[in-house]
């Protein structure tokens, strides 16, 4: 085994360990605010570059800075996991191709799992909303405009596939029927 491989192996394992500690996100837009993880990944990348002389900077993690009353530094979890997974794959291909591929799956598997979880959450949300609509339509205290609003929203649910589309349906239906926010809230029972 070459001296370079011997030096790279601990970093290769370290990156795999970091990846295993980063939680799978429920949603593709979830962020990680714990800067220690991505700082350690970037440090490992710097060490790899010193050892190999190769440029691995495309795998470096760049945090986003956001101000909401205070400074928040964060990284998208899917982006973080994909970068680490990509670097591990590159190291495997260049230095350890004779060994079994770590994690068997690929970054697209992680993204697909995340998208699948999001779709399941959206379907559950829409079904729960539909149940609430049916219950509300049985309420005899509803005014005619409120009942009409709920019936129109119920009809439109067949085309809704996400939370954003559901919100759009509710808002556009309320606007089309000239309902104010209080009437919408009363119709929905909130």
**What are the φ/ψ torsions at residue 66 (nearest 5 degrees)?**
-135, 145
- Are the C-beta atoms of 35 and 125 separated by less than 8 Å? no
- Cα separations (Å) of 108 from 47, 85, 104, 180? 27, 10, 12, 44
What digits encode the pLDDT tens for the residues 105-123? 544 444 455 555 555 556 6
How would you classify residue 14: left for phi > 0, otherwise alpha for psi between -120 and 50, otherwise beta? alpha
What's the pLDDT at 118? 54
What digits encode the pLDDT tens for the residues 28-61? 778 877 778 888 999 999 999 999 999 999 999 8
Number of H helices, E strands in the chain: 7, 3
The ranges of the chain with pLDDT < 50 are 106-111
- Are the C-beta atoms of 24 and 46 separated by less than 8 Å? no
- Are the C-beta atoms of 153 and 184 separated by less than 8 Å? no
Statement: the pTM of the whole predicted model exceeds 0.75: no
Those residues with Cβ within 8 angstroms of residue 176's Cβ, 6 or more apart along the chain or in another chain: 152
What's the pLDDT at 165? 84
């Amino acid at each position: 085994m070459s001296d370079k491989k011997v030096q790279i192996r601990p970093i290769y394992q370290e990156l795999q360990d970091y990846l295993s500690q980063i939680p799978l996100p429920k949603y593709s837009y979830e962020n990680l605010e714990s800067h220690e993880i991505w700082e350690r990944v970037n440090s490992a990348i710097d060490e790899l570059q010193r050892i190999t002389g190769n440029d691995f900077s495309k795998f470096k993690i760049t945090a986003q800075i956001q101000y909401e009353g205070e400074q928040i530094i964060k990284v998208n979890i899917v982006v973080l996991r994909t970068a680490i997974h990509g670097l591990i794959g590159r190291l495997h291909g260049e230095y350890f191709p004779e060994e079994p591929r770590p994690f068997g799956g690929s970054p697209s598997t992680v993204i697909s799992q995340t998208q699948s979880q999001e779709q399941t959450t959206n379907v559950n949300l829409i079904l729960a909303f539909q149940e609430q609509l049916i219950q509300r339509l049985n309420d005899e205290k509803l005014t005619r405009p409120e009942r009409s609003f709920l019936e129109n929203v119920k009809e439109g649910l067949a085309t809704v596939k996400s939370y954003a589309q559901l919100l759009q349906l509710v808002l556009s239906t309320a606007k089309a029927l000239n309902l104010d926010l209080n009437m919408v809230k009363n119709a929905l029972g909130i």
